[in-house]
């Protein structure tokens, strides 16, 4: 008996990560595009404007997809945005998604 663990691909582990994006990211439909990209990737979480001119939120989903959105937040964003940097924190593996979908919070 005995033998191997589960044959789950590494990319299928669920990841949760908080993010904040700096630059010209308010008033350029950044939240709407972030939501669209997250839904396209099958991710859940939320996005909102902060009082100090940044956009912040949380992403949850399969690790590989979360990393794709992280790259998008770093480099692409909405067409009119000018991203100076994106910071990620509280990255952790989770057992189950804590959100039903990807929401824009006011």
What CATH number was assigned to the domain covering residues 14-104? 3.30.70.100
pTM above 0.75, yes or no: yes
pLDDT at residue 106 in the model: 86
Catalytic residue (one of 40, 49, 74, 82): 49
Give the helix ranges, DSSP H, for 1-106: 30-41, 63-75
Residue among 79, 13, 96, 84 nearest 55 (CA): 84
CB atoms within 10 A of CB 77: 23
74 is catalytic: no
pLDDT at residue 9 in the model: 53
pLDDT at residue 1 in the model: 42
Residue among 65, 26, 29 nearest 44 (CA): 65
Residue spans per domain, the chain: 14-104
* Phi, psi at 81, each rounded to 5°: -75, 155
Give the helix ranges, DSSP H, for 2-59: 30-41
Low-confidence ranges of the chain (pLDDT < 70): 1-11
49 is catalytic: yes
Catalytic residue (one of 31, 65, 74, 90): 31
pLDDT at residue 12 in the model: 73
């Amino acid at each position: 008996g005995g033998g191997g663990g589960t044959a789950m691909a590494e990319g299928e582990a669920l990841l949760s990560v908080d993010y904040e994006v700096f630059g010209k990211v308010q008033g350029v439909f950044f939240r709407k595009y972030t939501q669209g990209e997250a839904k396209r990737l099958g991710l859940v979480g939320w996005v909102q404007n902060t009082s100090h001119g940044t956009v912040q939120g949380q992403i949850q989903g399969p690790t590989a997809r979360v990393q794709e959105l992280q790259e998008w937040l770093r480099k692409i964003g909405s067409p009119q945005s000018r991203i100076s940097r994106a910071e990620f924190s509280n990255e952790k593996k989770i057992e189950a998604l804590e959100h039903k979908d990807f929401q824009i919070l006011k």
